[in-house]
């Protein structure tokens, strides 16, 4: 890092990818607790894969997906599958 070489994860956290949010950013934006999202991933109710480039769970930054995620986090929806980002 001191030599200006950043890990891909650090690059994402600094500048992001247009149209995508990390799971933590998305859940925080919705006013919920990120730990609950990770619990749902472990239980198989939030079906999502880590992005191979950044090693993070990425969610599309669109109102429809965020609404569905909020419904899942609040117990109004049983499960949700997020399609992976195409490189």
Domains of the chain: 8-81 (1.10.1660.10)
Which residue, 52, 48, 81, 61, is CA-closest to 16?
Answer: 61
The tens digit of pLDDT for each residue in 18-28 reads: 889 989 989 99
pTM above 0.85, yes or no: no
Q: What is the pLDDT of residue 51?
A: 87
* Distance between CA atoms of residues 74 and 57, nearest Å: 20
* Distance between CA atoms of residues 20 and 70, nearest Å: 16
Q: Does residue 45 register a pLDDT over 80?
A: yes
Phi-psi region of 9 (alpha: psi -120 to 50; beta: other; left: phi over 0): alpha
- 8 A C-beta contact, residue 45 and residue 37: no
Name the residue with tokens 């569905």. Answer: 68
């Amino acid at each position: 890092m001191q030599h200006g070489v950043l890990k891909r994860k650090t690059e994402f956290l600094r500048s992001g990818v247009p149209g995508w949010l990390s799971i933590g950013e998305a859940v925080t934006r919705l006013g919920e607790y990120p730990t609950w999202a990770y619990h749902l991933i472990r239980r198989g109710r939030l079906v999502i894969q880590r992005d191979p480039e950044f090693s993070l769970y990425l969610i599309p930054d669109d109102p429809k997906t965020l609404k569905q995620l909020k419904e899942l986090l609040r117990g109004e929806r049983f499960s949700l599958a997020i399609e992976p980002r195409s490189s």
